[in-house]
Structure 1
C-alpha cells in the first residue's frame, strides 16, 4: 500500500499560494477567428449595447481604431452626451485650485522633479528660475569653455536634458491653460 502524502492545503497560514488551486483555470480566448491569445479586453458589439466581444490586446486595438462613440445617435443626442461628459469631467479641473500648493501638490512629474534636482532648484521654482539656473550651469561646463573635457561634456548634456524636460513641461502647461 503506497504511503499517503500530506497535502500542502492544511493549517494556518495556508502553505500553498493563494491563487494556486488544483482546478484548471478558466481562460477565455480572443473572439477573433483563429486567434489563440487570451481575450481579456472587452469591446462593445454595437453602439449603446451592453454585449461585449472579448479580444486580445492587439485585436482590441484594431477593432477600436475607428470606433465612433456617437454612432447611431442623432445630432441633438450627440450634443447632449458630449455636454454631459464635459460637465462631469470639468468638475476635476474646477476643483484643482482647492488642492495643496507647493512642492507636494502633484503638479510636477517625477521626471520634472529629478530635472529640478539636477539644476539644484526648489520644487516650486518658476520657469524663469529654471532658465537662469540652466544658463549659469551650462556656462561653467560648456564644451566650448572646456574643450576635450569628457566629464564637462557629460555634465553639459545632463543639464541640457534637464532643461529640455522642464521646457517641454512648461510648454504643455501653457498649451493647456
Structure 2
C-alpha cells in the first residue's frame, strides 16, 4: 500500500504559493446581458440606493458616462446637494496649500521628463526656460540653417517633438487650474 502523501498546507511558511489552491474560484460575471467578462466594478442601481450592479471595466465606463448625480431632484434639492458637497469638500481645497504641487516633485509625466532631457533642462524648469532652450537648440539644427543635413533634420524633429510634449502639458496645467 502506498504511503499517504502529506498536504502542502501544513506549517509555516506555507509550502505552496498563495492563491494556488485547488478549489474553483468564484468569479462574478458582468451584469450586462451577454457579457462574459468578470464584473468587478460596482455601480449604484439608483441614486442613494445600496443596491449595486457589477460591471466589467468597459461597461462600467459606459454606464458612468451617462450617470447624472442629480437625477430625480428638483432645482432646490439640486442646489442644496451641490452646496452641501462644496461645504464638505472645502477642507480638501484649503489643505491643497500644504500639498506638493510644484514641478520636479512627481507632477511631471515620464514623457515630459524625457522631453526635458532632450532639451537638457532640470525637472523643475518653467515654461519660459523650456521655450528659451528650445529656441536656442532649434536655431542650430534648423533645416534652413543646415539644408540637406539628415542628422540635423533628425535632431530638429526630436527637439520639435519634445517642445510639443511640454507645450501640451503646460496647456493642460493652465486649463486645470
TM-score w.r.t. structure 2 length? Answer: 0.84
What is the CA distance between 1:163 and its match in structure 2? 0.9
| 1:159 equivalenced with 2:153 (yes/no) | no
What is the CA distance between 1:49 and its match in structure 2? 0.4
Q: CA RMSD for the aligned pairs?
A: 2.4
Structure 2, unmatched stretches of 5+, are none
| 1:69 equivalenced with 2:69 (yes/no) | yes
Contact 2:115 2:165 in 1 (8 A): yes
Structure 1, unmatched stretches of 5+, are none
What is the CA distance between 1:70 and its match in structure 2? 0.8
**What number of residue pairs does the alignment pair up?**
177
| 1:4 equivalenced with 2:11 (yes/no) | no
42 and 132 in structure 1: CA distance in 2 versus 1, 3 angstrom threshold: same
What is the CA distance between 1:126 and its match in structure 2? 2.1
CA offsets per residue over residues 11-48 of structure 1, 9 Å max, x none? 33212111222322111122223332211111211121
What is the CA distance between 1:73 and its match in structure 2? 1.6
What is the CA distance between 1:97 and its match in structure 2? 3.1
TM-score w.r.t. structure 1 length? Answer: 0.84
Q: Counterpart of 2:63 in 1: which secondary structure?
A: helix
CA offsets per residue over residues 90-124 of structure 1, 9 Å max, x none? 44443333345765434433332322222112222
Q: 1:3-152 maps to which residues of 2 (within 5 A)?
A: 3-99=3-99, 104-152=104-152
Contact 1:43 1:54 in 2 (8 A): yes
